[in-house]
Amino acid sequence: MITFIAALRAGGVRVSLAESADAFRAVDDLGVMEREAFRLSLRTTLVKNVEGLPIFDQLFPLFFGNGDAQPMQDIMEDMSPEEAQMLAQAMRMFNEKLREMMERLLRGEELTEDELRQLGQMVGLNRTDDLDYQDWMARRMMRALQFDDVRDAMRDMMELLAQMGMTKERLEQMRQLIMANERAMQDQVGDYAGRRIAENMSEQSPMGDALDELMDRPFGRLSDRDMKVLRHEVRRLANRLRSRIALRQKRAKTGQLDAKATIRANLKHGGVPVEIKHRDHRVKPKLVVICDISTSMRYCSELMLSLVYQLQDVVTKTHAFAFIDHLEYITPDFQGRNPDAAIDNVLVRMPPGHYSTDLGYALRGFQDGYMDTIDSRTTLIVVGDGRNNYNNPQLEIFKTMGRRARRTIWINPEPVHLWGTGDSDMLDYAPLCDNLAIAATLGQLVSAVDQLLGEA
């Protein structure tokens, strides 16, 4: 129970000490013999928000079982002496390792806890803390067992038994029982993988407690599970930023006299005293955002795009681009989709690979097809580490883009002391920018976006 509650918290379900105590009292009153009553008592006392129900339903069977698991059956126990002799003869055709696994399936012997633990260690299960990887880890464990080879060998064995004269009825019965045992072993491995991942989750800090640390964790050290937390957090941060930026925009004035408004305001009282009216400043910025989504930049750019597109009501228009070795216009991906789905679509279409990052070529693509998206009202934002794999950085093109834009901002996750090292062209791009921001964490990225949209 305690480990289960810890896993719920790590999965994002907020469970207070009082709610934990309620759960223990409910179990004391209702007991654990009636599985469904036990499940509902925990669900009711531990989950107070509908968003927590899916993670509860996912974790409960991993800790307390499915309630419908079928035991493996011993196929050999009711064989006649003649059938057992035929089986022994057929089994001699296979190597020792295959024969051992085949006999386990035939006898209905489950894997021991120690064997499951060793398999899990072989495939890295002990380092996995995201339930999205349960099925993948289970498949890797089955491959480590050479399960596909065992199934092929079972089919070959059945053919041998048929050739030896075993009856069709007996062969069909064996086939059904073997398939049932295979499914049971797969279920056993899958359940173990899920349970081990859930236990790993329970050993992590609860999301609420770890959020501050995650906000300050460098992008390069984030796990897939960390990113799931931060994607959710970006939505909350965007709401907070939206309110703050909108308030600044509402208060902004240019100081320029609005003659018509001043005359209208003073007609009613003869102009004594004079009430001066000013024009409201058109402060909503127009953005062009160019993001490097190569492996080293993927998390930073993903969160940047998510932030920007959840702040669309405080900007006039956004043109978004992504590049690795070539530039793609990705604004259409966001039309009619929520930001997370749109970004997923882009990342699937532009996966990281063995090709090299080429910002210079991406800038040439921008010059050829999209230069008219930049004008005197545009804030140009580049999100990248400035590493160009020793390709031509196309500084003249970038200089032209900067001249056309109102402001040019570069957001880079690398510390300044790494600029200009190796294949970095950052020291050449930097003088062509109006502002440079270091954003190696989500906290720094949010601060940079807050500042740039406040000044854009």
User: Which amino acid is located at 247 in the chain?
Assistant: L
336 and 403 in a common domain: yes
297 and 174 in a common domain: no
CA 287 – CA 122 distance, rounded (Å): 48
User: Which amino acid is located at 389 in the chain?
Assistant: N
CA 154 – CA 97 distance, rounded (Å): 13
Residue 407: its H or E element: strand 407-412
- What is the predicted pLDDT for the residue at 263? 66
| Both structure tokens of 124 | 């890295």
- What is the predicted pLDDT for the residue at 422? 92
DSSP 290-334: EEE-SGGGHHHHHHHHHHHHTTGGGSSEEEEEEESSSEEE-GGGG
Strand partners, 286: 317, 378
**If you average pLDDT over residues 426-443, what whole number do you get?**
95
Higher pLDDT, 374 or 146: 374
309 and 190 in a common domain: no
Phi, psi of 382 (to 5 degrees): -110, 130
408 and 344 in a common domain: yes
| pLDDT tens, position by position, 263-294 | 666 666 655 556 666 555 556 778 999 999 99
Contact 263, 245 (CB under 8 A): no
* Residue 332 maps to a domain: yes
Buried b / exposed e over 318-349, threshold 16 CB at 10 Å, is bbbbbbbbebbebeebbeeeebbebbeebbee
CA 379 to each of CA 34, 153, 208, 237, 405: distance values in angstroms, whole numbers, following the listed order: 63, 65, 35, 22, 6
**If you average pLDDT over residues 121-130, what whole number do you get?**
83
Residue 65: its H or E element: none
CA 311 – CA 239 distance, rounded (Å): 8
Query: Helix count (H) and strand count (E) of the chain?
Result: 19, 8
- What is the predicted pLDDT for the residue at 250? 61
CA 126 – CA 9 distance, rounded (Å): 19
Number of residues written out for the chain: 456
245 alpha-carbon distance from chain centroid: 28
* Residue 222 maps to a domain: no
198 and 132 in a common domain: yes
| pLDDT tens, position by position, 91-113 | 888 888 888 888 888 888 888 99
Quickly tell me which residue has 């070795």 as its tokens.
325
Strand partners, 438: 412
- Count structural domains, the chain: 4
| pLDDT tens, position by position, 180-204 | 888 898 988 998 998 888 888 777 6
Place 391 in a pLDDT band, splitting at 50, 70 and 90: very high
**If you average pLDDT over residues 333-345, what whole number do you get?**
86
Mean pLDDT, the chain, whole residue set? 84
User: Which amino acid is located at 177 in the chain?
Assistant: L
Higher pLDDT, 174 or 228: 174
Query: Helices 442-455 and 207-215, interaxial angle, to 10°?
Result: 60
Contact 254, 283 (CB under 8 A): no
419 and 373 in a common domain: yes
Q: Shortest CA distance to 332 belongs to which of 309, 299, 310?
A: 309
Higher pLDDT, 374 or 151: 374
Q: Which of 39-43, 51-55, 160-164, 285-289 has the lowest mean pLDDT?
A: 51-55
* Residue 217 maps to a domain: no
Contact 95, 126 (CB under 8 A): no
* Residue 356 maps to a domain: yes
* Residue 212 maps to a domain: no
CA 437 – CA 377 distance, rounded (Å): 21
CA 433 – CA 435 distance, rounded (Å): 6
Place 368 in a pLDDT band, splitting at 50, 70 and 90: very high
Quickly tell me which residue has 């959020």 as its tokens.
211
27 alpha-carbon distance from chain centroid: 35
CATH number at residue 244: 3.40.50.410
19 and 54 in a common domain: yes
244 and 176 in a common domain: no
* Residue 112 maps to a domain: yes
Query: Helices 134-144 and 113-123, interaxial angle, to 10°?
Result: 110
190 and 96 in a common domain: yes
338 and 192 in a common domain: no
- What is the predicted pLDDT for the residue at 278? 57
* Residue 180 maps to a domain: yes
- What is the predicted pLDDT for the residue at 400? 97
Q: Shortest CA distance to 58 belongs to which of 134, 154, 166?
A: 134
Where does residue 363 rank: exposed (0-12), middle (13-18), buried (19+ CB within 10 A)? buried
- What is the predicted pLDDT for the residue at 347? 87
Quickly tell me which residue has 């307390």 as its tokens.
64
**If you average pLDDT over residues 314-320, what whole number do you get?**
87
| Domain span including residue 344 | 233-251+284-455
295 and 274 in a common domain: no
* Residue 362 maps to a domain: yes
In this structure, what is the dihedral angle of CA atoms 384, 386, 387, 392, given to the nearest 10 degrees?
120
Quickly tell me which residue has 């064989």 as its tokens.
79
Write the CB contacts of 188 (distance below 8 Å, at least 6 apart in sequence).
110, 111, 116
Higher pLDDT, 238 or 242: 238
Quickly tell me which residue has 């289970």 as its tokens.
138
Strand partners, 137: none
276 and 369 in a common domain: no
Q: Which of 20, 37, 68 is the last residue of a domain?
A: 68
Q: Shortest CA distance to 7 belongs to which of 55, 67, 50, 39?
A: 55
Contact 312, 283 (CB under 8 A): no
| Both structure tokens of 62 | 């991993």
CA 429 to each of CA 7, 258, 386, 406, 438: distance values in angstroms, whole numbers, following the listed order: 46, 40, 8, 17, 14
**If you average pLDDT over residues 338-360, what whole number do you get?**
83
> With 60 as the cut, is the pLDDT of residue 261 above it?
yes
> With 70 as the cut, is the pLDDT of residue 455 above it?
no
- What is the predicted pLDDT for the residue at 84? 84
Note the pTM of the prediction, 2 decimals.
0.55
